[in-house]
Amino acid sequence: MLRRIFGVETEFGITFSLRGQRRLSPDEVSRFLFRKVVAWGRSSNVFLENGSRLYLDVGSHPEYATAECDSLDDLVAQDKAGEAILRELVSYAQQQLNEEGIRGDIYLFKNNTDSSGNSYGCHENYCIERIDDLSRLEQVFIPYLISRQIFAGAGKVVTSPKGTAYSMSQRAEHIWESISSATTRSRPIINTRDEPHADPERYRRLHVIVGDSNMSEFATFLKVGTASVVLAMIEDRTTVLRDYNLASPINALRDIAYDLWSKEPIKLTSGRDMTALEIQDDLCERAEHFAQNRSLPDDQRLAVRLWREAIEDFRSDPMSLADRVDWIAKLQIIERERERHGIALSDPRIALIDLLYHDTDLDRGLFYRRQQRNHFRRVVDDDAISKAAVEPPSTTRARMRGTFIRVAKEWRRDYTVDWVHLKLNDEMQRTVLLKDPFKSTDERFQKLLTSLERRER
């Protein structure tokens, strides 16, 4: 599969405080946040006109799932649109709290851990061919995911009984298995629960749980783009791939997270040793050859070129990636603060920097303050993000879902939708089942829209 459907689900951290003191619990502030959502869709679980899904997840975490995308630019725009949509909800909730005389400020963080050590995820979804033999995923894709921290990690200051250290990844400490059907009790790198949201005879949805939430547009583009290419190589049985199976994947995940400059080798089941950088380098070389001999989409070809650029920059000077990679950008800010004030990594001021990097407020968040000074390489512009907040991708099933929701609202019709169903809740209970995520139009869908409008006339 060369053209691919993918999407990202992001759980956000939320708190409400006054001068550093928490005033409301996450559950209480989330209720204010979702008042407007309930008004939109009669519940705290709604699909929006841009094809995405917005809901309140376990632990009072607002969660935004992008619409199905087949373009990396669309994906990045949709991901950033989620932040914009939630900023709008924060503004609305803040106004409600002020009117009720509840003093304090809402903070919405796009990160993966809270102050109590709880973790919440950023999950990637990839539509792959229906395969039941997952051995190639274990041999290639899991080592790829474990080693891609060098460009996809969001960075985290971690305090343990051993002391305080800086980690590339926020999620590495919270993953316990390589492949599993569980998601919370025993978090795996890949979740195998078989929910394709598509024709189960043709497709499988690969649910990746190990990833960090990225603020950097470049990091999101690169992690999803390179993953798509690696999956294409795995699906293509004629492509020869090395067995990168790790002797202890979970230990490797944690070890790589703290090996900031990729100096320490990780043991493979074959007896070989490779560093994270060497695994990425070898996979990138094979992806370059694959791209030369296959009709990859242009954006995936670009992802391979940017992958090579990032590897070479990391090899020569990792800090040169501070304009693209979150964990490096955050480390740069932290080290400058430590040097300026002569403080330890364990200083509370460093913990505050660690948190504020992920603040989604455009004026307060450290990431956005740096982006406004052109310190980050961008993938999409603000106009594309604004458009993605109200319009679905035009080349996937999401176009039909978003259009149906918009038109049904315009005609004030009661409806129900999910990832595969469009239903009008009238006496006829007309339902269209959309099993192909690659199709952006369908005759049955057009008839549904036509019948809806004719009845109103």
pLDDT single digits (tens) 202-213 = 999 999 999 999
Please determine, for residue 445, whether its predicted confidence score (pLDDT) is greater than 90: yes
DSSP label of 42:
S
Helix axes 72-99, 298-316, angle to 10 degrees: 80
- The catalytic site residues sit at 57
Please determine, for residue 41, whether its predicted confidence score (pLDDT) is greater than 90: no
Strands (E), 361-443: 415-417, 421-424, 431-433
Can you tell me which residue has the tokens 């969001």? Answer: 154
pLDDT at 379: 98
pLDDT at 451: 80
Cα 448 to Cα 283: distance, rounded to the nearest angstrom: 46
According to DSSP, the residues that pair with 246 across neighbouring strands are 268
Q: Element (H or E) spanning 328, and its range? A: helix 326-341
Task: Identify the band that residue 455 occupies on the pLDDT scale cut at 50, 70 and 90.
Answer: low
Cα 379 to Cα 366: distance, rounded to the nearest angstrom: 19
Cα 184 to Cα 51: distance, rounded to the nearest angstrom: 26
Enumerate residues 6+ apart whose C-beta is below 8 A from 257.
Answer: 149, 153, 167, 168, 169, 172, 173
How many CA atoms lie within 13 Å of 71's alpha carbon, on the beta-carbon side? 13
Between 26 and 152, the more confident residue is: 152
Best CA proximity match to 47, nearest among 57, 37, 58: 37
For 20, 26, 273, 332, the CA distances from 157, given in Å and listed in that order, are 20, 23, 28, 13
Please determine, for residue 42, whether its predicted confidence score (pLDDT) is greater than 70: no
Between 357 and 194, the more confident residue is: 357
Can you tell me which residue has the tokens 């390589």? Answer: 178
**The pair of three-digit structure tokens given for residue 393, joined into one six-digit string:** 């991708």
Task: Identify the band that residue 185 occupies on the pLDDT scale cut at 50, 70 and 90.
Answer: low
| 3 state SS of 423 | strand
Domain boundaries for CATH 3.30.590 within the chain: 6-388
Backbone phi, then psi, for 58, in 5-degree steps?
A: -55, 135
pLDDT at 120: 93
Cα 149 to Cα 210: distance, rounded to the nearest angstrom: 10
Please determine, for residue 184, whether its predicted confidence score (pLDDT) is greater than 70: no
pLDDT at 426: 83
| 3 state SS of 365 | coil
For 79, 104, 435, the CA distances from 121, given in Å and listed in that order, are 14, 27, 27
Task: Please check whether residue 3 is in contact with residue 70, taking contact to mean a CB–CB distance below 8 angstroms.
Answer: yes
Task: Please check whether residue 278 is in contact with residue 244, taking contact to mean a CB–CB distance below 8 angstroms.
Answer: no
- For domain 6-388, which architecture applies? 2-Layer Sandwich (3.30)
Cα 105 to Cα 110: distance, rounded to the nearest angstrom: 16
Please determine, for residue 19, whether its predicted confidence score (pLDDT) is greater than 90: no
* pLDDT 10s digits, 64-94: 999 999 999 999 999 999 999 999 999 999 9
* pLDDT 10s digits, 193-252: 889 999 999 999 999 999 999 999 999 999 999 999 999 999 998 888 999 999 999 999
**276: burial class by Cβ within 10 Å (0-12, 13-18, 19+)?**
buried
Tally of CB atoms within 10 A around 374: 9
* pLDDT 10s digits, 392-415: 999 999 999 999 999 999 998 999
